[in-house]
Amino acid sequence: MNDVRDKNTGAPANFDSAQGHPIPGFGGQQVYYLPPRKVKLPVVLFLLTCASTFWVGVTDWLPVQSLMVAAEDGNLMFLRRSIIAHWPQGLLYMGAVLLILLLHELGHFFATIIYRIPASMPIFLPFPLNPIGTLGAVIAMHGNLADRKQIFDIGIAGPIAGLVAAIPLTFIGISQLDLSIQPHGGLGFRLPLLMEWIATSMNIEGYEAGQPIWINQLNPIFTAAWVGLLITGLNMMPVGQLDGGHITYTLFGDSAHWIAQTVIVFAIAFMVYHQNFMLVVMVMLLLVIGTNHPPTRDDKVPLGAFRWTLGLASLLIPVFCFPPLIFEIV
C-alpha cells in the first residue's frame, strides 16, 4: 500500500507524535507506528537508582542516620569507611533489588512491544533517603490505544515477571537470616504473608509468626526480596491505573470503579485506626490522578477462560505480598 510519511520524522503524514497513529494491517487489524523512545532520561535515572540502592546497602539501610553521624563528626571519613567495609553488601542489595524491579518493568515493556502500544523505556525512581533506596519503577504508555485483552496482558506481565525473581530470592534471603543477633536500631520490617509462610515452613530458628525482622538482622538478599514483594503487592492494588487497576477493570468493567473507591476508603480508615501514615503520599497521589480506570480502546474484546482464571488469582497478590503495617518503629 502507499504509505505517505513525513520527510523529517519518517512517520505517517497524519501521525500523532504523542500517541501513535493506527495503520491498517493484515486482516484489518490496527497496528501503530511507534515514535522514537527517549533513552537518556531513563538511563540516567537507572544509574541514579543503582547509586541510591548501593548507598542504602552500604549504610545498613540507615542512610539518613549515616549522614547525621557524618555531619556530627564534621567530615566524610565515616561514610568512606562504611563504603569500604560494606561495598559487597551494597552491590548485592543493589543487584538483587534492581533485578526484581527491572524484570517487573520489562514484563510490561515487552508486552507493549508485542502489541505495538507506544510506551516509554522503564523509568526508575531513586530515593537515597529512605531505607530501601528507591520508590520503584514505572513505564508510561498510551493505554487508550490498547483493547481490553491487551491491557490485561500488559498489566499482568509485570507482576508475574517480577515474582519470578522475587520468590526464589525470598527463599535465599530467609535462609540467610540470623535472628540470634539482638535487635537494635528501632526499625523493624514487617513480613507479608508469603514471607511468613516461607519462614515458618523453613523452620528458621528464632522466628515466630508476626514478628518483624529488625534492621540490624537484615541481609541484602532478604531485604531486596522484601522490597520486591512490597512493590509488587502495592502495584497490584485494584486502584486506578496501577497493575491491579488494569486487571480489575478488564475483569469487571465499570464495577471496578467502586472496588477502587472501597479500597481507598479502607486504606484511609486503616491508616487512621493504626495511626500509621506511611502510605499517605501514595493514597493522595492516587486521589489526584484518579481512582477510576479509563476505558480501553475496545472493552468488548473477550478475555477467555485462562485470562479470567489468571486475573482472579492475581487479585490475591496484595494479600500475600503486601505487609499492611510495613515497618515497626520503636
Write the DSSP string, 154-187. HHHHHHHHHHHHHHHHHHHHHHT--TTSPP-SSE
**CA 315 to CA 178: how far, in whole Å?**
33
In a domain, 10, yes or no: no
Per-residue pLDDT, 74: 66
Highest mean pLDDT (candidates 27-41, 262-276, 311-325): 311-325
What's the pLDDT tens digit per position in 276-322?
A: 777 787 788 888 878 899 999 999 999 999 999 999 999 999 999 99
**Predicted confidence band of residue 138 (pLDDT cuts 50, 70, 90):** very high
Q: Nearest to residue 289, comparing CAs of 175, 138, 183?
A: 138
In a domain, 321, yes or no: yes
Domain that holds residue 237: 37-329
In a domain, 8, yes or no: no
* Whether 150 contacts 117, CB under 8 Å: yes
The residue to which cell 530467609 is assigned? 174
Write the DSSP assignment of 17-68 as a string of letters. Answer: TTT--EEE-GGG-EEEPPPPPP-HHHHHHHHHHHHHHHHHHHTTT-HHHHHH
Per-residue pLDDT, 164: 97
Q: Nearest to residue 226, comparing CAs of 236, 238, 213, 237?
A: 213
Mean per-residue pLDDT for 237-241? 93
* Alpha helices per DSSP H over the chain: 40-58, 63-73, 77-114, 148-175, 193-201, 220-235, 243-252, 255-274, 280-289, 304-314, 317-321
Per-residue pLDDT, 31: 53
**Count of Cβ atoms closer than 10 Å to residue 244 Cβ:** 28
pLDDT greater at residue 297 or residue 29: 297
In a domain, 280, yes or no: yes
Mean per-residue pLDDT for 39-44? 94
Per-residue pLDDT, 12: 39
Mean pLDDT across the chain: 87
**CA 150 to CA 223: how far, in whole Å?**
33
pLDDT greater at residue 323 or residue 22: 323
Per-residue pLDDT, 80: 82
Q: Go through 152-191 and write b for each residue having 16 or more CB atoms within 10 A of its CB, e for each that does not.
A: bbbbbbbbbbbbebbbebbbebbeebebeeebeeebbbbb
Length of the chain: 330
In a domain, 29, yes or no: no
In a domain, 23, yes or no: no
CA angle 65, 279, 259 (to 5 degrees): 165
**Predicted confidence band of residue 47 (pLDDT cuts 50, 70, 90):** very high
Q: Nearest to residue 115, comparing CAs of 37, 33, 31, 35?
A: 31
Mean per-residue pLDDT for 51-65? 93
Number of structural domains in the chain: 1
Orientation angle between helical segments 304-314 and 148-175, nearest 10 degrees: 40
In a domain, 145, yes or no: yes
What's the pLDDT tens digit per position in 163-220?
A: 999 999 999 999 999 999 888 768 899 999 999 999 999 988 888 888 999 999 999 9
pLDDT greater at residue 86 or residue 16: 86
In a domain, 179, yes or no: yes
Sequence-separated (6 or more) residues with CB below 8 Å from residue 289? 240, 241
Per-residue pLDDT, 67: 86
Percent of the chain with pLDDT over 90: 65
Per-residue pLDDT, 228: 97
Q: Which amino acid is at 219?
A: N
Query: Model-level pTM greater than 0.85?
Result: yes
pLDDT greater at residue 66 or residue 258: 258
Question: Does pLDDT of 162 surpass 50?
Answer: yes
Mean per-residue pLDDT for 220-238? 96
